[in-house]
Amino acid sequence: MHEIDAEKAGNTAGTQPNAHILVVDDEVALTRLLVELLEYHGYRVMAMDSSGAALAFFEDNYPAVDLVVADETMPGMTGLELLRRMRALRPDLPTIRIDEKMLELMHAERLGEKLDKKVRELEEEHRALQKTEAKLQRRTRRLEVLNSLLKLSLDDMTLEAQLSRKGEQPPPS
Protein backbone atom coordinates (compact mmCIF):
# COMPACT_ATOMS: atom_id res chain seq x y z
CA MET A 1 0.00 0.00 0.00
CA HIS A 2 1.30 3.43 -0.91
CA GLU A 3 -0.40 6.67 0.16
CA ILE A 4 0.58 10.01 -1.26
CA ASP A 5 -0.67 13.43 -0.19
CA ALA A 6 -1.37 15.62 -3.23
CA GLU A 7 -1.21 18.85 -1.22
CA LYS A 8 2.60 18.59 -1.41
CA ALA A 9 2.38 18.70 -5.20
CA GLY A 10 -0.13 21.54 -5.25
CA ASN A 11 -3.21 21.93 -7.37
CA THR A 12 -1.74 22.95 -10.70
CA ALA A 13 -4.63 22.08 -13.00
CA GLY A 14 -7.56 23.60 -11.11
CA THR A 15 -8.89 20.22 -9.97
CA GLN A 16 -10.42 19.54 -6.58
CA PRO A 17 -7.49 18.95 -4.23
CA ASN A 18 -9.70 17.02 -1.81
CA ALA A 19 -10.63 14.39 -4.39
CA HIS A 20 -9.36 10.97 -3.32
CA ILE A 21 -8.35 8.47 -6.00
CA LEU A 22 -7.63 4.81 -5.41
CA VAL A 23 -5.10 3.35 -7.88
CA VAL A 24 -4.86 -0.44 -8.05
CA ASP A 25 -2.11 -2.06 -10.10
CA ASP A 26 0.46 -4.77 -9.50
CA GLU A 27 3.00 -3.08 -11.80
CA VAL A 28 5.06 -0.70 -9.67
CA ALA A 29 6.32 1.45 -12.56
CA LEU A 30 2.85 2.10 -13.93
CA THR A 31 1.51 2.79 -10.45
CA ARG A 32 4.25 5.35 -9.83
CA LEU A 33 3.51 7.03 -13.15
CA LEU A 34 -0.20 7.28 -12.38
CA VAL A 35 0.39 8.49 -8.83
CA GLU A 36 2.81 11.19 -10.01
CA LEU A 37 0.43 12.34 -12.74
CA LEU A 38 -2.57 12.48 -10.42
CA GLU A 39 -0.60 14.18 -7.66
CA TYR A 40 0.64 16.75 -10.11
CA HIS A 41 -2.97 17.64 -10.83
CA GLY A 42 -3.75 18.05 -7.16
CA TYR A 43 -5.40 14.76 -6.22
CA ARG A 44 -4.85 12.75 -3.06
CA VAL A 45 -3.87 9.26 -4.12
CA MET A 46 -3.94 5.86 -2.42
CA ALA A 47 -2.08 3.22 -4.42
CA MET A 48 -2.40 -0.51 -3.79
CA ASP A 49 -0.72 -3.42 -5.53
CA SER A 50 -3.41 -6.10 -5.16
CA SER A 51 -7.11 -6.36 -5.91
CA GLY A 52 -7.84 -8.10 -2.59
CA ALA A 53 -6.18 -5.39 -0.51
CA ALA A 54 -7.88 -2.69 -2.55
CA LEU A 55 -11.30 -4.29 -2.10
CA ALA A 56 -10.77 -4.61 1.66
CA PHE A 57 -9.71 -0.96 1.85
CA PHE A 58 -12.67 0.13 -0.25
CA GLU A 59 -15.16 -1.84 1.85
CA ASP A 60 -14.00 0.13 4.91
CA ASN A 61 -13.62 3.51 3.17
CA TYR A 62 -15.89 3.56 0.10
CA PRO A 63 -17.65 6.87 0.94
CA ALA A 64 -14.26 8.66 0.91
CA VAL A 65 -13.13 7.32 -2.49
CA ASP A 66 -13.99 9.61 -5.42
CA LEU A 67 -12.51 7.52 -8.25
CA VAL A 68 -10.93 4.09 -8.71
CA VAL A 69 -8.31 3.42 -11.39
CA ALA A 70 -7.64 -0.31 -11.75
CA ASP A 71 -5.48 -2.41 -14.01
CA GLU A 72 -7.39 -5.14 -15.82
CA THR A 73 -4.72 -7.82 -15.53
CA MET A 74 -3.79 -8.57 -11.93
CA PRO A 75 -3.25 -11.80 -10.03
CA GLY A 76 -6.19 -13.09 -8.01
CA MET A 77 -8.95 -10.81 -9.26
CA THR A 78 -9.17 -8.93 -12.56
CA GLY A 79 -9.74 -5.20 -12.63
CA LEU A 80 -13.20 -5.75 -14.12
CA GLU A 81 -14.19 -8.07 -11.24
CA LEU A 82 -12.74 -5.65 -8.67
CA LEU A 83 -14.68 -2.72 -10.09
CA ARG A 84 -17.87 -4.82 -10.29
CA ARG A 85 -17.57 -5.65 -6.59
CA MET A 86 -16.84 -2.04 -5.67
CA ARG A 87 -19.86 -0.83 -7.64
CA ALA A 88 -22.02 -3.34 -5.80
CA LEU A 89 -21.20 -1.31 -2.67
CA ARG A 90 -21.40 2.04 -4.40
CA PRO A 91 -23.21 2.06 -7.79
CA ASP A 92 -22.35 5.71 -8.56
CA LEU A 93 -18.60 5.12 -8.19
CA PRO A 94 -16.60 6.56 -11.13
CA THR A 95 -14.00 4.07 -12.38
CA ILE A 96 -11.30 3.75 -14.98
CA ARG A 97 -10.14 0.30 -16.04
CA ILE A 98 -6.70 0.18 -17.60
CA ASP A 99 -6.37 -2.55 -20.19
CA GLU A 100 -3.53 -3.61 -22.48
CA LYS A 101 -4.63 -1.28 -25.28
CA MET A 102 -4.59 1.73 -22.95
CA LEU A 103 -1.11 0.77 -21.73
CA GLU A 104 0.07 0.53 -25.33
CA LEU A 105 -1.33 4.00 -26.00
CA MET A 106 0.33 5.41 -22.88
CA HIS A 107 3.59 3.75 -23.88
CA ALA A 108 3.31 5.07 -27.43
CA GLU A 109 2.61 8.55 -26.12
CA ARG A 110 5.66 8.42 -23.86
CA LEU A 111 7.76 7.13 -26.76
CA GLY A 112 6.40 9.92 -28.93
CA GLU A 113 7.40 12.47 -26.30
CA LYS A 114 10.86 10.94 -26.05
CA LEU A 115 11.20 10.96 -29.84
CA ASP A 116 10.07 14.60 -30.00
CA LYS A 117 12.66 15.50 -27.37
CA LYS A 118 15.38 13.58 -29.24
CA VAL A 119 14.43 15.29 -32.51
CA ARG A 120 14.66 18.71 -30.81
CA GLU A 121 18.08 17.77 -29.38
CA LEU A 122 19.28 16.61 -32.80
CA GLU A 123 17.98 19.80 -34.43
CA GLU A 124 19.90 21.87 -31.85
CA GLU A 125 23.03 19.81 -32.50
CA HIS A 126 22.54 20.28 -36.25
CA ARG A 127 22.26 24.06 -35.83
CA ALA A 128 25.40 24.07 -33.66
CA LEU A 129 27.24 22.01 -36.28
CA GLN A 130 26.09 24.39 -39.03
CA LYS A 131 27.45 27.35 -37.03
CA THR A 132 30.72 25.52 -36.47
CA GLU A 133 30.92 24.62 -40.16
CA ALA A 134 30.32 28.25 -41.15
CA LYS A 135 33.09 29.39 -38.77
CA LEU A 136 35.45 26.77 -40.17
CA GLN A 137 34.66 27.86 -43.73
CA ARG A 138 35.38 31.52 -42.84
CA ARG A 139 38.65 30.54 -41.15
CA THR A 140 39.58 28.33 -44.10
CA ARG A 141 39.04 31.28 -46.49
CA ARG A 142 41.17 33.52 -44.24
CA LEU A 143 43.92 30.90 -44.14
CA GLU A 144 43.79 30.53 -47.93
CA VAL A 145 44.18 34.32 -48.33
CA LEU A 146 47.03 34.36 -45.81
CA ASN A 147 48.64 31.41 -47.58
CA SER A 148 48.40 33.24 -50.91
CA LEU A 149 49.95 36.37 -49.38
CA LEU A 150 52.73 34.35 -47.79
CA LYS A 151 53.38 32.60 -51.08
CA LEU A 152 53.63 35.96 -52.88
CA SER A 153 55.94 37.25 -50.17
CA LEU A 154 58.08 34.12 -50.40
CA ASP A 155 58.21 34.43 -54.19
CA ASP A 156 59.33 38.07 -53.81
CA MET A 157 62.01 37.10 -51.30
CA THR A 158 63.20 34.26 -53.56
CA LEU A 159 63.40 36.64 -56.53
CA GLU A 160 65.33 39.22 -54.44
CA ALA A 161 67.75 36.54 -53.27
CA GLN A 162 68.37 35.33 -56.84
CA LEU A 163 68.92 38.85 -58.12
CA SER A 164 71.25 39.77 -55.29
CA ARG A 165 73.37 36.70 -56.03
CA LYS A 166 73.68 37.89 -59.59
CA GLY A 167 74.46 41.42 -58.37
CA GLU A 168 71.35 42.93 -59.83
CA GLN A 169 68.97 45.25 -58.09
CA PRO A 170 65.36 44.07 -57.73
CA PRO A 171 62.78 46.17 -59.52
CA PRO A 172 60.96 48.64 -57.26
CA SER A 173 57.71 47.27 -55.87
Average pLDDT over residues 19-34: 88
Residue 22 lies in a domain: yes
Residue 135 lies in a domain: no
- List the domain range (segments joined by +) for residue 55: 2-98
Mean pLDDT over the full length of the chain: 82
Residue 148 lies in a domain: no
DSSP code of residue 3? E
- pLDDT tens-digit series, residues 104-158: 666 677 777 777 778 888 889 989 989 999 999 999 999 999 999 999 999 888 8
Distance CA 139, CA 126 (A): 20
Query: What letters, b where the CB count within 10 A reaches 16 and e where it falls short, cover 108-139?
Result: eeeeeeeeeeeeeeeeeeeeeeeeeeeeeeee
Predicted confidence (pLDDT) at residue 39 exceeds the cutoff of 80: yes
Residue 86 lies in a domain: yes
- pLDDT tens-digit series, residues 73-112: 888 898 889 999 999 999 999 998 887 776 666 667 777 7
Q: How confident is residue 7, by pLDDT bands cut at 50, 70 and 90?
A: very low
Look up the CATH number of the domain holding residue 49: 3.40.50.2300
Residue 65 lies in a domain: yes
Average pLDDT over residues 48-62: 93
Residue 165 lies in a domain: no
Domain count for the chain: 1
Residue 68 lies in a domain: yes
Q: Are 71 and 25 in contact (CB under 8 A)?
A: yes
For the beta carbon of residue 153, count every other beta carbon within 10 angstroms.
Answer: 10
Instruction: Look at strands 44-48 and 2-4 and give their pairing.
Output: antiparallel
